[in-house]
């Protein structure tokens, strides 16, 4: 099945860009997702990218997909303290709706 890996921790200064990386194993995943989880809160769907796309931009968020290397990244421009959270990437095996999540990257934004 799908396996998803992420680095555990990222620290940036307010106003800088953040780049959170993710690698996955199932190259036939149709969609790949980014979720945000704040302390004590549920998962918030941030954005997703269809597998036939290389890039998707949504306001301060840019998702890049490198299918050859099975690498997904989320770039947050002008990072704010409110962006401090845990970010999860997720994908689904072919033909399945169950999402497989990475273990999450904790983003710490320093003022």
Partner 1 sequence: GAGVSQTPSNKVTEKGKYVELRCDPISGHTALYWYRQSLGQGPEFLIYFQGTGAADDSGLPNDRFFAVRPEGSVSTLKIQRTERGDSAVYLCASSLVGNNEQFFGPGTRLTVL
- Work out whether 76 is an interface residue with partner 1 (CB under 8 A): no
Nearest-angstrom CA–CA distance, 57 and 98: 25
> Hey, is 83 helix, strand or coil?
helix
Is residue 32 within the footprint of partner 1 (CB under 8 A)? no
Q: Is 65 helix (H, G, I), strand (E, B) or coil?
A: strand
Residue among 27, 44, 66, 80 that touches partner 1 (CB under 8 A): 44
Distance CA 79, CA 60 (A): 8
- Alpha carbon 55 to its chain centroid, in Å, reads 13
| Site size with partner 1, rule: CB under 8 A | 23
With binding defined as CB under 8 A, does residue 28 bind partner 1?
no
Q: Binding segment for partner 1 among 13-21, 30-38, 53-61, 69-77 (CB under 8 A)?
A: 30-38
- Asked if 101 touches partner 1 (CB under 8 A), the answer is yes
Among residues 46, 86, 78, the alpha carbon closest in space to that of 63 is found at 46
Note the residues at the interface with partner 1 (CB under 8 A): 4, 30-31, 33, 35, 41-45, 48, 88, 90, 92, 96-104
């Amino acid at each position: 099945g799908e396996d998803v890996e992420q680095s555990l921790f990222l620290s940036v200064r307010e106003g800088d860009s953040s780049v959170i990386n993710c690698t996955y194993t199932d190259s036939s995943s149709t969609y790949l997702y980014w979720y945000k989880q704040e302390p004590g809160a549920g998962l918030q769907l941030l954005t997703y990218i269809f597998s036939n796309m290389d890039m998707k931009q949504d306001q301060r968020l840019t998702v890049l997909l490198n299918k050859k290397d099975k690498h997904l990244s989320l770039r947050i421009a002008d990072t704010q303290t409110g962006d401090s959270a845990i970010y999860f990437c997720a994908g689904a095996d072919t033909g399945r709706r169950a999402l497989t999540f990475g273990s999450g990257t904790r983003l710490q934004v320093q003022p």
